[in-house]
A and B are shown apart, each in its own frame.
Chain A
């Protein structure tokens, strides 16, 4: 397994090996799926759309619908206007969505397609039927990563969909970040538990975690509705979870409509969840529900009960910046040692934040943005770890070095729990703790001398 990887790390300037990120459009597609009645549209070569749909399907094990402008060489030379116009005509005639969310690709960006002009023209020519909406986000693959693509589409939602007219209402906006449907469901549950009426966008719960009914529905009942999106400009406030994925949209809402933004990190682990609950309490103007406080207590109880198995354990973490920043805090709460912490995205703020968290606590830590799994593997070869936490691509390192590996983040292509059970909130933290402990104890149970094979732990 990964036998060609040399055991000492060497710096590279040009060659990316085993990336810990992918390109912008898939993030934009995922965000668009969180709008009710939306058809995501990929403006470029059809391979992009095929790859993104395939990977999202592998992660969610659910239908992932999206259309493409299917560029051929002609469109690449003469521009994609004809393809876009024909695509919109076909999409509204055949698939009848409420809204189409267009994102670009490297191809359409390199040739300089003017998407707003194309959409305006389609409105003028009545290709977009009365009452239907088309929004867009520019997501060239040679800029940012899937994370900025997600943030871009969410920002596009708040740029295009809210209405200036209307009255203040008592709801709170929640921007959940690039998390799974199970996480979005959990965040909504916590808001409900607290008695805070919330509008979540995007919201892929009940879109990408559908029941088996024997009936296929192209636009499932989930997703933020256009009606709700119209009113997010008049909410009490916005709680934005994740500096990289959600902050830009929250700030846009604040500057455009004066909706106050509370900018938080993803609620993964105890402390970051505390801040989310505190924000619901303050922005929503409600007391913290006993049931939520009890959940917190149960999480803390697990942490104290099992502390000995986590204390001092060395961990390698790879993932998206918002996820990793919060996970590192959770690992520190358990008094583990996150010694290698990477993200594939280009995110200088990530390094600064993680270093700030680790300062004085894990001096040996290597923290790197714009890194890849090859880097991380080589560091692990130089000085091993007790646990790896990251997406499915980390499992090869885990096998190569015989290190327990817990799947976390995006994408998870080989296990199913992530779409059903959250990693956010107190419940999510309990689940992550269980998974990490199981992985480490399973290894111990497999490998320890028989006389130390314990019945009770």
Chain B
């Protein structure tokens, strides 16, 4: 963990760098960006203008609402047949481009290898696309006989007025299977984030709670906001199994439709990516009485901390002992590689600009090996992900956020079942145990680090010039820009096609990968002999 008293070691002051970043902007752009670039103080966290509109003409990392819904949350449900309603591009680009790996259970299909779309053409734009959508669903059913179908809307759908929810209802009646529509048109929000929320709402309304069959197992839980990038969820699953804990569902990583429908039978919800899935966690608590808290399985020390918290929640002596034994065993196994890599990487500097939780989670992995984070920011997070959930009541709901339905959730008359008695909850809280507890990125980052929301290309260039970080963590669009500047860049959406990085075994992979990137000789070959001083 970072020492909040310490000051990030950089040559140029963050205030100066911030000014340099802002200097070139036209006045209106500057006014907006200056609220999204802040010098951090973990003891007096400043307010950041996160989850606001992207400025037109700025080279941004952000994607759209459809990407957040189809690509992130829904994509990994491998046996849910998903039909993208719209012109071909959106279905094409979301086809196997995220690394949410799946190993389908025997007998279940893997539709993730398929891109299905209505391939909407001008005729549908003019005369409406519902007819083609109905026909596409019938054809999909005829060929694949799926258990359930999802319809995902792209930009034109809302504009031409196709009622995909009505089509879903009709098809549900006709085919006798679940058919769910997602109004996740790309323009619906300011980023992917709106799409997460839309996916959360529909999954909660139309899938979770459909099957009351509980898992066998003394301790059952879900992990929400874990997408199994590079196999992360498998590492976490294996670790929990070793401790004697059963995962009912991982939303959404290597998960099938039936697991999603049974998710409400678990005894606990833990949340990895707060941004993309806290909505479901909150709604499940209200409807079914399942408490949730935040965990982080990225970083060895964070993994140990998260495991201990889970054990404390279940409050079982045997489980606690097993968890401690597993932590001791895994940490001991990890120690040689961690020590070796730390010796080579300690004091190097990183900057992370990615996602809605990853730019925070990975700081723990860097902390494990003594790499200092000088700057960080999210691509599409909200104020609570930066400043902590305590700011939730003060977040102004703007026109863009109002577009996304806030579901009103009541306790389920039959199935509301508080997993802990009020006395047990009080006892836990008195031990300092927190529920619904995300403290955000800024509290953990050092004083006078630079926090940049929705970083632009220009700001990234300035940051690299000024801070000369040893490594940047970002995504595919930045990767080769950063590397052309001679700085290694680790993609944290795709892991550069490696991983897993979660839990203890994953941490070892990450340490070794960062060691490779920070200490490789290839960057030193840039200057040819004839340009070297004699």
Contact = CB atoms under 8 A, between A and B. Distances in A.
Given A45-B64, A45-B187, A50 B477 contact: yes
Interface stretch (B139-147, B220-228, B248-256): B139-147
Interface in A1-26: 1-4, 6, 10, 12-19, 21-23, 25-26
B424 interface: no
B499 interface: no
A47 B159 contact: no
Nearest to A13: B135
Interface of A: 1-4, 6, 10, 12-19, 21-23, 25-26, 41, 44-48, 50-55, 57-58, 61-76, 83-84, 86-91, 93-95, 105-107, 110-111, 140-143, 145, 210, 212-217, 344, 374, 393, 396
A408 B169 CA distance: 43
Contacts of B88: 16, 19, 21-23, 141, 145, 344
B177 to A, nearest CB: 15
A168 B113 CA distance: 54
A15 B116 contact: yes
Contacts of B113: 1-2, 396
B135 A14 contact: yes
Interface in B483-521: 483-486
A216 B83 contact: no
Interface in B454-488: 457-458, 461, 475-477, 479-481, 483-486
Given A48-B186, A90-B57, 8 more contacts: A22-B88, A45-B187, A47-B65, A62-B480, A67-B56, A73-B399, A212-B484, A213-B526
A191 B470 CA distance: 44
B486 A214 contact: yes
A23 B89 contact: yes
Task: State the 10 A-B residue pairs at the shortest beta-carbon distance, nearest first.
Answer: A47-B64, A23-B89, A90-B57, A87-B57, A214-B486, A141-B87, A14-B135, A16-B119, A45-B186, A87-B56
B56 A84 contact: yes
Nearest to A100: B57
Interface string B38-61: 000000000000000111111111
A72 B53 contact: yes
B93 A54 contact: yes
B486 A57 contact: no
B92 interface: yes
Contacts of B159: 76, 107, 110-111
Contacts, number: 251
A143 B485 CA distance: 39
B433 interface: no
A84 B142 CA distance: 45
Nearest to A17: B116
B60 A55 contact: no
Interface string B325-346: 0000000000000000000000
Given A90-B26, A212-B484, A54 B89 contact: no
Contact of B58 (A74, A90, A210, A396): A90
B18 interface: no
Contact of A214 (B155, B475, B481, B526): B526
B91 A16 contact: yes
A199 to B, nearest CB: 27
7 contacts: A13-B139, A19-B88, A23-B87, A23-B92, A72-B187, A73-B399, A107-B155
B57 A91 contact: yes
Contacts of A50: 60-64, 67, 477
Q: Which of A142, A145, A210 has the most CB of B within 10 A?
A: A142
Interface stretch (B121-129, B236-244, B408-416, B442-450): B121-129
Contacts of A63: 480-481, 484
A46 B144 contact: no
Nearest to A373: B115
Contact of B139 (A12, A18, A57, A396): A12
Contacts of A210: 484
Interface size class on chain B is 35 or more
A16 B484 contact: no
A31 B132 CA distance: 32
A95 B459 CA distance: 12
Contact of A72 (B57, B189, B458): B189
Nearest to B195: A47
Given A64-B477, A74-B399, A93 B24 contact: yes
B59 A66 contact: yes
A142 B114 contact: no
B4 interface: no
Interface string B62-88: 111111000000000000000100111
Contacts of B457: 65
Contacts of B485: 214-216
Contact of A143 (B121, B187, B400, B481): B121
Nearest to B63: A50
A3 B87 contact: no
A5 to B, nearest CB: 8
Q: Which of B57, B111, B121, B136 has the most CB of A within 10 A?
A: B57
Contacts of B54: 46, 68, 70
Given A54-B476, A73-B403, A142 B65 contact: no
A26 B110 contact: no
Contacts of A89: 26, 57
Given A58-B476, A70-B53, A87-B57, A17 B115 contact: yes
Given A47-B67, A145-B88, A86 B116 contact: no
B477 A67 contact: no
Nearest to A60: B480
B496 to A, nearest CB: 11
Q: Which of B65, B122, B142, B480 has the most CB of A within 10 A?
A: B480
Interface in B121-179: 121-122, 124-125, 132-133, 135-136, 139-140, 142-144, 154-156, 158-160
B156 A4 contact: no
Q: Which of A12, A83, A141 has the most CB of B within 10 A?
A: A141
A110 B481 contact: no
B64 A90 contact: no
Contacts of B476: 54, 57-58
B199 interface: no
B430 interface: no
A54 B479 CA distance: 10
A46 B63 contact: yes
Contacts of B28: 86
A166 to B, nearest CB: 33
B260 to A, nearest CB: 19
A41 B58 CA distance: 10
Interface in B18-45: 24-26, 28-29
B87 A142 contact: yes
Contact of B26 (A66, A93, A105, A213): A93
